[in-house]
Structure 1
Amino acid sequence: MPTLGLIHNSPVLAPIFNEIAARIMPDVRLLHFVDESTIKNTIAAGYLQKATKRQVIGLVGSAFNAGCDVALVTCSSIGPAVDMAAELYEQPVLRVDRAMAEKAVATGTRIGVVATLSTTLTPTADLVRLVAHEQGKAVEIVEHLCDGAFAAVMAGDGATHDRIVGEALTEAMRGMDVIILAQASMARVVAALPEGAVAAPVLSSPELGMIRARDVLAGLPQ
């Protein structure tokens, strides 16, 4: 049975990806690897440290040592470390947000990027720029940080988080061709907004990232 290794920075992500896998790849075995230090140390430092990059590379190695055929890293803040890991291992190493960035660039030229953490906003916007450059397409990227939303959700105040993110999507992101969510946790806000509240399509990484992982697994030699 093909095996997908999922590398998370929080245990709350595992059920989200289990649900997607049950729908789109029921014949794939999942192994979850969780290390909260990768995101907590990145937030504390304000950037992706060398020690965290080594940690991510080691986690990818652990996934392959455990028998995984493909590793998918589900955190956008540590994306540059994932790219490094991809250079070091023979097996495929995937960023959860790569497929989302590619779809955004294919959808329009005014691309909004919304995040609740600056450490996630920057790498996500940089990935969109990279994809646009690779495809030879000129895009305008509008970055928006939802101030206070992350602190609210960490304090257990989900309602305030959802209100701040909702206001960003309906107000700050007006006029965009497509909007991408830098964190998977923001997707629930879109689902809760009234129909038509956000004119542009809104992309989130988990579903698109898992579809990419499924396709990569399917293409591996049997």
Structure 2
Amino acid sequence: MLLNDSGAPTIGFLHTSPVHIGTFDTLVAEHPGGFNTVEVVDEPLLDLARSVGPSHPDVVAGISSSLDELERAGASIVVCTCSTIAGEAELVGERFDVPVVRVDRAMAERAIASGTRIAVVGALESTFSPTRALLESCASSEGVSIEITDVFSEGSWDNFEAGNIDGYMQSVAATCSSLGGTCDVIVLAQASMAVAATMVEGPIPVLSSPALAVEAAIAAVQDRLDSGQGR
């Protein structure tokens, strides 16, 4: 397990957009343990996954290459921050010595604990299937029945791709606000939407994945350290 100068381990991140770097670096830096970060950004991987599917051999090969790079760089755990490929990243990660977790797993677990009517808001169609599958898996593990509604945030991704992040967040927040009392909890399917969660007023909780994912990853590393496990 690679430690930085402060004696803390390293959290690795697999991104498909550089926009995530600042978000996750800040979240890790805010933790009192002084954890280090190492990141790989593979933007074409998302486009490929959207085109041929996340389980396509070429996508799997890309994920494997990125995980190998992060493992060799000394990551103690890897968080895949792209919800489209995150489920596949967990499967590919089983071949590695370093644990690999999807960015939305902790959020999904929190959602299941928050209510049975779950609205999933996404700006990319490719995020709905893996998010739904994860929620259903978490619900099954807890022995509860849930009702999932996919809510597409029309036009939001156009803002994101144009670099209009403020417009992206406002559009996502507006989509969430439009749901009214139709659900018990709202799940933001993409890590890039996190700021939008803070822009929605009302009694319905809006969950985003970055902070919960970092919290869970750090807890997992600390558990490994406490049990004397290395990489």
- TM-score, length basis structure 2: 0.87
- Over residues 110-157 of structure 1, what are the superposed CA-to-partner deviations in whole Å (9 max), with x where a residue is unaligned? 111100001112211211111111211101111111121101221234
Q: What amino acid is the match of 1:94?
A: V
Distance 1:35 1:119 in 2: 17
Distance 2:75 2:169 in 1: 35
Distance 1:97 1:173 in 2: 23
Equivalent residue number for residue 109 of structure 1: 116
Distance 1:15 1:162 in 2: 16
- Over residues 37-82 of structure 1, what are the superposed CA-to-partner deviations in whole Å (9 max), with x where a residue is unaligned? 1112223x16323211221122112111122111111111102321
Tell me the SS of whatever aligns to 1:180. strand
Distance 2:164 2:129 in 1: 25
- Say what the alpha-carbon RMSD is for the aligned residues: 1.7
- TM-score, length basis structure 1: 0.91
Q: Is the counterpart of residue 13 in structure 1 residue 20 in structure 2?
A: yes
Of 176, 181, 184, the residue aligned with 2:183 is 176
Distance 1:6 1:187 in 2: 17
- Structure 1 residue runs of 4+, over 6 Å off? none
Q: What is the 5 A alignment of 1:45-194? A: 45=51, 47-48=53-54, 49-172=56-179, 174-193=181-200
Distance 1:183 1:42 in 2: 15
Identity of aligned residues (%): 32
Q: What is the 5 A alignment of 1:33-48? A: 33-43=40-50, 45=51, 47-48=53-54
1:206 Cα offset (Å): 0.4
| Unaligned runs of at least 5 residues, structure 1 | none
Distance 2:216 2:170 in 1: 31
Distance 2:84 2:217 in 1: 19
